[in-house]
Structure 1
Amino acid sequence: MADRGCRTPTGGASYAPETSPNPVLTCWVIRTHTMASLSAHENKKFLIVDDMPEMRSSLRSQLASLGHSRVAISSNVKTAVAQLEQDSFDVILCDYFLGDGSDGQQLLEHVRKRKLISRSTLFIMITAEKGYVSVMTAAECLPDDYLLKPFTADALKLRLESLLDKKARLAKVDAMQDKERWPEVVAACDEIIASGDRYQTEARRIRGNALIACGRFDEAMAFYRQVLAIRVMPWARFGLARAQFAQGELEACTATLRQLIEEAPQLLSAYDLLSQIQLDAGQTDDALHTLDQACEIAPESLSRHRAIARVAEKKGDFTRVESALTRVVTKTRNSPLRETADIASLGNAHAEMGAPEKAIQLIDEARKNFKSDADDPHLAAVEALAQHKAGRPELAAAALSRALDTTPGSLPQDVALRIARACLATGQQDKGEAILKSIVQNNPESTAVHAQVTEALNVHGTPGRAAALIQEGVQEVVALNNEAVRRGRAGELGAAAEMLTEAAERLPGNAQIVSNAAFALLLDIYSNGPDTVKLHDALRFQKRVTMLDARHPKLADIAELQRRIRTKYGQTA
């Protein structure tokens, strides 16, 4: 851990903690004798997150000297998450090192992923290490700014004034981003850029992200190239790579990412995207090497260790899975940052390496300590496999029964695949094959999924069965889709929409089925009149398709049909 000791401040400063001072700790925050308050922002709500009591007290005292009385404090990730679940804050001041293996970057990624804070919330990271700033500015979840220790109260005041003014200027844009109204975000950013506003660089960054989010990839690539022609900036280079990836220009994307890694080697997101391209191409060794490079820069990054485990599992390197996830599980054991999938994958690695008892012990511990894991189907599937390998068929059957209590089609693909493998390993061939067929039907054109299904049947089921099962699954989807199209063309719009809606609910990962369901529902509305339930389902399916494949050609047809509905009925669609 980095040195958190004291550096002796210079100048006429005095130390003013609320409690008895610890000179080694409280000297980090320096308070000047005279301090004007941030009158325009003094009603803001603050949350201080720091594991050291003296630092929490000193920061609170500083904020009080600036006129801020609405201040809450938290000593760790767990209590911070609990407070954010119950209340909203305008400003979060978070130390990078939070003890117990947790850090402020992990907290930021967690609360942004779970949407516990909006874009209007100001998140400031406090650190004594300049190196962490250069790494974290490249992370996919950025704090709004950093404060390097030691800092004076005057410096804190000026920084807060500047950042809060920026938040106020971009409040409209932030609110539209939170609502995912991307075309409006683009238009609002255009206004800021055209005005020559001092925040136009930030507006450009947001504009590029919004263009990608609403599927305008060609326009995004042209925009990023225009920015780069003026000045080489890592965020613009990465934006160009993202747009190229979304457009399917993988060779160009790879070249852009390699150039970016050379120009800005600490931009971690570049390694993430490059490893994804390599993994999709079946280059697992290259993907692991790329992620290892990222971990050399940010060795405590949970997301990269999780990514290494996922790639290593696809490769069958369970020793590597065990190494990566043991680190993650140890660091998050008593933290809200823990994920059940980590425990399941680690337990599976133990079982595959010939240590089923170790897997069972790990799962039992998770169930004992976390009630939410008691009936988790992912853990139950891994336990079934481990109990089978341990020679306890009755316990294996009981665990598998718990795993099957949840409809596999509603589960993430990796969980459904784990349950299918457990079924096959314990002799429930029909159930296992039914789950595998559903996985194929959700991803009928994915060679990677077909390879996983083949591997599962070869290892745990009937070798040679995969080709026939995959063909059956694909043919059933084609037949269903063709029948729905036939009914639609015959004027049976309601029947076609109903058929495709049922299929989309059953196969939520099949972009073709889900997009056709959205289009059929909208066509039914256009022809037969507004229907709130059908409109809600159509928009839900449209959003799902965008998540699955933002380049899907049917999205343009859906958008055009929405426009026609608005013109005809004045409906918001």
Structure 2
Amino acid sequence: MPYSDLSVLIIDPNPSMRGNLHNMLTQASITKAEYAVNSASAIKLLAKKPFDIILCEYDLGSGTDGQDGQQLLEDLRHHKLIGLWTIFIMLTSEAVHSKVVSAAELSPSDYILKPFTVDVLSGRIARAIERRAIFLPTYQLLEKGKLREAVASCSEAELRHPRLAADFARLRAELHLELGEWREAETIYTHMLQARPMAWVHLGLARTLFEQQRHEEVAQSLSELLEQYPRFMAAYDLLAQNHEAMGQQLQAKKILEDAVAISPHMVRRLRRLGGMAFDTGDIGAAERAYKQVVTKAKYSEFRDPEDHVNLVRTLVKKGDGPQASGVLRDMERSLRSGPNVEACRAISAAMLHEMTGNDIAAASELQQAAAAVQGARGLSTQLKVGLVQSCLKNNLDDAASELMMKLVNEADSEVTMEQAVDVFEKAGRHDLAQGLGQQLKNQVQELLQEAAGKTESGELKGAVFMLRQALRRTPGNLPVLFASSEAVLRQLNMLGWEATLAEQLQNHLHTIRKIDPKHPKLESLRMQYEATQHKYGIAT
């Protein structure tokens, strides 16, 4: 790609440094440059258009959100505002570099130590562009969701490009993790650890152990890692998650508190700490965490009205009505109106009315919240389930049932039929639980019948789709798992090999093996799948 076609975003609060960088880029024949003075302005620009290269100063100043360049990079990747092919170069002092490079899980494309010359900058850009060209075929497979082909692409590239073999091995391990192939990822990380004992390799290995529920090994590994790299923030996050999985909520909260003390500006971590503190009954810590979240996110492009709901809930639990009312007023005043904000406003108002004993007003607000949720997008499952529970508590049976049915049927919902019924049972509404369960069972049965009809008429893809919907509602249902597996095998054999379908089938077999490893149909399905692989020349 000609340098004159490259687009560059310079992120630096210093006007003279922005000017110097622009001059250097011009000397390197790069003329398409735009500027951002802080993380907020960078996010706004990147939400509108992509850039080939981002040159980001590590020290972005305190600003409004307190983010540094590394935290901005994590936010950009977390919210998918930059692609895998975006070249992100961090500009740092030598002192900062020595602290950051060992503790960064999400590494930039390169670090450049200040001061530097135009030759250094152009050389690093040239190296990054060359690297991007080598990785591009794999990135394109990832963009298309072809994870299995991307794994194969990494393996081939490791042999063709030995200089980048470690980078391709890292990506291959991450893909195995995404595919749920923990042992394969563990093997890669173990080999890499012997050759290159980097912090992120230790972390990757710990992740594979966590997914295999080897929690004691995870705790020991991460504790040792943090002794060596006390600022490796991603290790704190995984260690807290590991303690939580072991039922050790207080230890998990302590780990998150330690992480926040070291790096106080990452909003996602503060949210987790607030939730953990609330669940463990530490209302003071929850209040402090959620207040920081609301304050730090106030000028962020990622502002979420649920943060206000969490803070109101905490203050109501504390019994501080005046402060909770102030948070509600701030939400009404400072957030743009829309279904999400209206739902969060009404939920918060209902909590305040309940606190003062005004049940009629609380029920009215909950009705408004239930109506707003119907048109909302991106609200958390936790908030929606909480709304269902509040409706049940206030005898809004129809609203609760309708909300839960919609939640289970949402394409990206994580709530299963069993979990939905359990919410009603725990609320003491066995009658509603039975009715809801029967409706959902009827839905699953209808989907199974419709899938069978499509199979008979030769609509194999339609049958697979219907069974996928049924399985999402009841993921541990063995008859549905077997029906879906057989439908996928039928489509693979009749219509040709599709990697994503093959991955779906592998996940089905994995789930069946966990539920009933000795089921008589399991071995037959496995052998049929291997025969299908051989048919298309797919290596097993």
TM-score by length of 1: 0.74
Q: 2:117 aligns with which of 132, 145, 152?
A: 152
Structure that is richer in helix per residue: 2
Aligned length: 515
Q: Give percent identity, aligned residues only.
A: 25
Q: Deviations over 1:76-111 (max 9, x none)?
A: 333322322222211011223152224233432332
Does the CA-based 8 Å contact 1:128-1:148 persist in structure 2?
Answer: yes
Specify the alignment match of 2:385 in structure 1.
417
Q: 1:404 aligns with which of 351, 370, 374?
A: 370
In structure 1, distance between residues paired with 2:456 and 2:108:
49
Specify the alignment match of 1:381 in structure 2.
347
In structure 2, distance between residues paired with 1:522 and 1:367:
52
Specify the alignment match of 2:511 in structure 1.
552
**Deviates further, 298-307 or 286-295:** 298-307
In structure 2, distance between residues paired with 1:541 and 1:223:
20
Structure 1 residue 202 displacement after superposition: 1.0
Does the CA-based 8 Å contact 1:221-1:243 persist in structure 2?
Answer: yes
Structure 1 residue 445 displacement after superposition: 7.3
SS of structure 1 residue aligned to 2:163? coil
Asked whether 1:69 is paired with 2:37, we answer no
Asked whether 1:442 is paired with 2:421, we answer no
**Deviates further, 555-564 or 291-300:** 555-564
Structure 1 residue 315 displacement after superposition: 1.7
Q: 1:173 aligns with which of 138, 151, 154?
A: 138
| TM alignment of 1:487-498, pairs within 5 A | none
One-letter code aligned to 1:389: M
Structure 1 residue 286 displacement after superposition: 0.6
Q: 2:72 aligns with which of 107, 117, 137?
A: 107
Structure 1 residue 144 displacement after superposition: 1.9
Judged with a 3 Å threshold, the aligned counterparts in structure 2 of structure 1 residues 370 and 232 are, in CA distance, closer, same or farther, namely: same
Does the CA-based 8 Å contact 1:106-1:337 persist in structure 2?
Answer: no
In structure 2, distance between residues paired with 1:552 and 1:249:
19
Structure 1 residue 56 displacement after superposition: 1.9
One-letter code aligned to 2:349: E
In structure 2, distance between residues paired with 1:243 and 1:62:
44
Judged with a 3 Å threshold, the aligned counterparts in structure 2 of structure 1 residues 215 and 553 are, in CA distance, closer, same or farther, namely: farther
Runs of at least 5 residues in structure 1 that lack an aligned partner in the other structure: 1-38, 569-573
One-letter code aligned to 2:22: R
One-letter code aligned to 1:66: A
Judged with a 3 Å threshold, the aligned counterparts in structure 2 of structure 1 residues 200 and 375 are, in CA distance, closer, same or farther, namely: closer
Specify the alignment match of 1:273 in structure 2.
238
Structure 1 residue 121 displacement after superposition: 0.5
In structure 1, distance between residues paired with 2:102 and 2:321:
42
Q: 1:512 aligns with which of 476, 492, 499?
A: 476
| TM alignment of 1:217-296, pairs within 5 A | 217-296=182-261
Specify the alignment match of 1:12 in structure 2.
none
In structure 1, distance between residues paired with 2:534 and 2:377:
34
SS of structure 1 residue aligned to 2:221? helix
SS of structure 2 residue aligned to 1:109? helix
In structure 1, distance between residues paired with 2:169 and 2:369:
47
Specify the alignment match of 1:90 in structure 2.
52
TM-score by length of 2: 0.78
One-letter code aligned to 1:76: N
In structure 1, distance between residues paired with 2:101 and 2:338:
32
Judged with a 3 Å threshold, the aligned counterparts in structure 2 of structure 1 residues 372 and 183 are, in CA distance, closer, same or farther, namely: farther
SS of structure 2 residue aligned to 1:199? helix
Judged with a 3 Å threshold, the aligned counterparts in structure 2 of structure 1 residues 521 and 402 are, in CA distance, closer, same or farther, namely: farther
One-letter code aligned to 2:387: I
Specify the alignment match of 2:20 in structure 1.
58
**Deviates further, 435-444 or 280-289:** 435-444
Specify the alignment match of 1:426 in structure 2.
394
Does the CA-based 8 Å contact 2:391-2:399 persist in structure 1?
Answer: yes
Asked whether 1:215 is paired with 2:180, we answer yes
Structure 1 residue 273 displacement after superposition: 1.5
In structure 1, distance between residues paired with 2:533 and 2:73:
41
Structure 1 residue 509 displacement after superposition: 6.7
SS of structure 2 residue aligned to 1:93? strand
In structure 2, distance between residues paired with 1:114 and 1:431:
32
In structure 1, distance between residues paired with 2:473 and 2:446:
20
One-letter code aligned to 1:442: V
In structure 1, distance between residues paired with 2:246 and 2:435:
25
In structure 2, distance between residues paired with 1:62 and 1:213:
40
Judged with a 3 Å threshold, the aligned counterparts in structure 2 of structure 1 residues 107 and 231 are, in CA distance, closer, same or farther, namely: closer
Runs of at least 5 residues in structure 2 that lack an aligned partner in the other structure: 515-521
